[in-house]
A and B are shown apart, each in its own frame.
Chain A
Amino acid sequence: MTRGIRRVPLAAYPPVFLRVHSNTLASRGLQPARSFGIRVLGRTFTRRTAERVKDRCAPFQRALNDGRAFAVVSILAALVIRPAPDAYARDPALDATPKRSANGPADALDPDFELLRETQKTFRDVAAAMTPHLVKIETVGGAQPGGFLPTSDDEEGSEDRPPPSNQFRDDMGSSFVVADGPTTGIVYSADGYIITSSFNFVRDPLLITVTLSDGRRFAADLIARDQVRKIALLKVQAADLKVPEWADPADVRVGQWAVALGLGFGGERPSLTVGIVSALHRMLGNAIQTDAKLSPANYGGPLCDVFGRVMGITVPMAQRPGELAGVEMYDSGVGFAVPKAKVDEIVAALQEGRSLYRGWLGIQLNGRAPGVVIGKLADPSPMKSAGAQPGDRIVEANGKPVKHFGHLVQALYMIPAGERVHLKIDRDESSYEVDVTLARNTELGPLPQDEPEPFDPSLPKPE
């Protein structure tokens, strides 16, 4: 088995040995982007070859299931016409016999060592099993995000809708600059829906291409985005995408292995990072937390258990709003994945073409008063419609005590516009409770302006 990369010059070999390039087929008059093949040892064969290989495979498939790997490997090796230009080739003999310790004699009875070797094999298996369900997303064009940017709307003919002229502006949530490398997505349905992190879509790309694991490339449409849970829904024209198995939420437990896969490095195979499930029910029930390293290299990809089931889709998240909020925590051992139930709920809305946006109450706080006291109310705004007044003190939100502004943000930041929150408010000696439906910032009116000070000629002139 060879190790290391061997770059295969284009002209040297007939097309069947190339990594899938539908262009070469195109240049030879074949239908592009529609042919498929099977992958064996890192290469794709055309259909006819694929059928032959498949037939030969059947008996070995059974042998594999029996675990007679060693024999199978050597037999399969005979099928290969040329060795794979494979970066990850390894000597199967190393898996079978324990390695000699650097200092002492081989110790076949070292259970902790064997456990490590078995886990690394499991991780590899998970990556292999998930590969067909992952897509690489590349985008072209679009502005670089940075600083204070009004949220872009891209449905319902919203180019007509002016950006909010009030003071309720969304910001990116982080000064992180999005690079232009590819990102990762997961097949959501066989008919072509793909979910990914909205991380790569803050730039409003002009063109989105999606590459499947078998090499087929499609142009994709961005259907809608959930700004709050940072999930974007894409659609490609395909009818046979492979949907992964999702883990049953009841099976997800703190302490189990969590493997995050991503295609952000641009290679053909996903990269892996490994950690455990650190906590459940984070971010107001919107996320599973993991200490596997999550970053732009794998946002939008799956967080998998050891059975190769998807526990959640990894996205940047933080306890504050913003499309990039949380990205600054990349690789820190604190990462989040949105689990299936939430994803299904979100996708159901997104599939209708309805993006989900950050929800606002429409108030500005009185910074000088202790606690959370309303200073000004936008008009129109949800709080205004609910009958709130300046001076009201918010003491509870969705059952959680609110003692200062941070508590309010924590209680509300993951709730999109259009959903209701339950507030308990003190006014003078009494208190009242009210359900308020959060609004988008574009739906809010302006805050009342301060009355200008009347001119007093006796006051000294300002410097």
Chain B
Amino acid sequence: MGRKPLPYGCGSVAALLALSPIAAVGAGAGGFDRAIESALPRVVKLYGLGVGEQAGYGSGVLVSEDGHVLTVFSLLIDARRVRAVTADGTPYKADVVYRDAKRQLALLKLGPDVEGGARREEATVGPFPYFDLSRESSLAPGDWVLAAGNAFQVAYGAEPVSLAHGIISARTRLDARRRLKDFSYRDEVLVIDAITSNPGAPGSAVVNVSGEFVGMIGRVVTSNRTHTNFNYAMPRDVLYEFFREATAPPDGTAPPGGGSVTVGMTAGATSPPGDVSRFDPGIRVARLGYQTVLPFVERVRFGSPGQRAGVRKDDLILSMNGRAVPDADAYEERLAALGSDEPIDLVLRRGETVLTVRIERKP
């Protein structure tokens, strides 16, 4: 005996059995019951199948009645065949309908598992229980949250996915990397104090104690500020924006292949192709040949955004957006890695004073 894919075409049997796993879970006075009952039916287990073997596994969140599944943009979704298993153990095929390389998100759509033996006549699937991303949820630091997903593939078939509980630690901008490359998404995330950096966890649903959807666990990253595995979730409002974009009616301008926002994942001096010219705040930082020197401002161009923000010659740049700037190279690197609409917060030392300026990019 071993782990085997569930038999295909067993929809009706599986539906009957759907009652037992959920019923065995959390009926009664447990504080997290509502969160559990809300999350479990709306999380799917994802499997990427290569040629004859599994390419990976992960989690996804049901976000529409018709079977749209939100997940992260990972190798998994590029597999030859992506399979999703819903909470009742029914397998489905999952097709990628939209992907966003900057936010590292992907939207899938469930369909009948034809290769697995489902009848072709079943053109539609569902209705599925889902999270309505447009519904605002109560959210504050200190709030308990529950993450539900298939980390470590502990759950199989109709077995309930795994949970992790913790609180919302903070809401902050993401400044992180995957191995050596900076992570492309740099906007707001929810920091949570449960471990999210486990294999299979990205794509897990995060709900509050009332069972409202508050976010989805993102790809595994290392924080640039702390060099530690960063525990976070993409917030609901960011996911909602992505979902709206992904499901907007076609207007003929979307690129073929389902549409994707093309910003590369790499940080560095090279501009992404097709992008507008890089933002130049007009500040020149001192260099001394190849020697490493402290990043004093050598010159501020007249009329530049830097000058408007108040930067002056001889200011010493201490940090940019919360990260210390040790030298001119670091300054350039950090500047290039910022998001195209991200403002630049500099902490400067001027004489004995320490001050902060914010340089806005001109709209």
Q: Taking beta carbons and an 8 Å cutoff, which residues of A are in contact with B?
A: 3-5, 7, 9-11, 21-24, 26-27, 32-33, 87-88, 90-91, 94, 99-103, 110-113, 115-117, 119-124, 126-127, 138-141, 176-182, 206-207, 209, 217-219, 264-267, 269-274, 292-293, 295-297, 330-331
Contacts and interface: CB of A to CB of B under 8 A. Distances in A.
Contacts of B32: 116
Nearest to A111: B29
B125 interface: no
Interface stretch (B178-186, B204-212, B256-264): B204-212
B125 to A, nearest CB: 22
Given A176-B227, A207-B349, A274-B167, A141 B322 contact: no
B209 A295 contact: no
B212 A32 contact: no
B162 interface: no
Contacts of B193: 272-274, 292-293
B172 A265 contact: yes
Contacts of B37: 101-103
A180 B323 CA distance: 6
Nearest to A181: B225
A116 B211 CA distance: 13
A112 B33 CA distance: 9
A26 B327 CA distance: 26
B354 interface: yes
B118 to A, nearest CB: 28
Scoring B173, B175, B319 by chain A CB atoms within 10 A of each residue's CB, the highest score goes to B319
Contact of A181 (B229, B322, B349, B360): B322
Given A119-B144, A140-B326, A102 B38 contact: yes
B145 to A, nearest CB: 9
10 contacts: A7-B343, A23-B355, A140-B319, A182-B322, A217-B347, A266-B173, A266-B322, A271-B170, A274-B167, A297-B169
Given A119-B144, A274-B193, A296 B326 contact: no
Interface in B332-363: 343, 347-349, 352-358, 360
Nearest 3 interchain pairs by C-beta: A181-B225, A266-B322, A99-B210
B137 to A, nearest CB: 9
Interface in B147-177: 166-173, 175
A206 B325 CA distance: 12
A73 to B, nearest CB: 13
B84 interface: no
Given A3-B237, A21-B356, A99-B211, A124 B34 contact: no
B21 interface: no
Contacts of B237: 3-4
B136 A88 contact: no
B195 interface: yes
B71 interface: no
Nearest to B192: A273
Contacts of B33: 110, 112-113
A90 B138 contact: yes
Scoring A115, A122, A219, A266 by chain B CB atoms within 10 A of each residue's CB, the highest score goes to A266
A297 B228 contact: yes
B268 interface: no
Contacts of B326: 140-141, 180
A32 B355 contact: yes
Contacts of A101: 34, 37-38, 210-211
Contacts of A119: 144
A112 B144 contact: no
Interface string B202-242: 00000001111000000000011111110100010100000
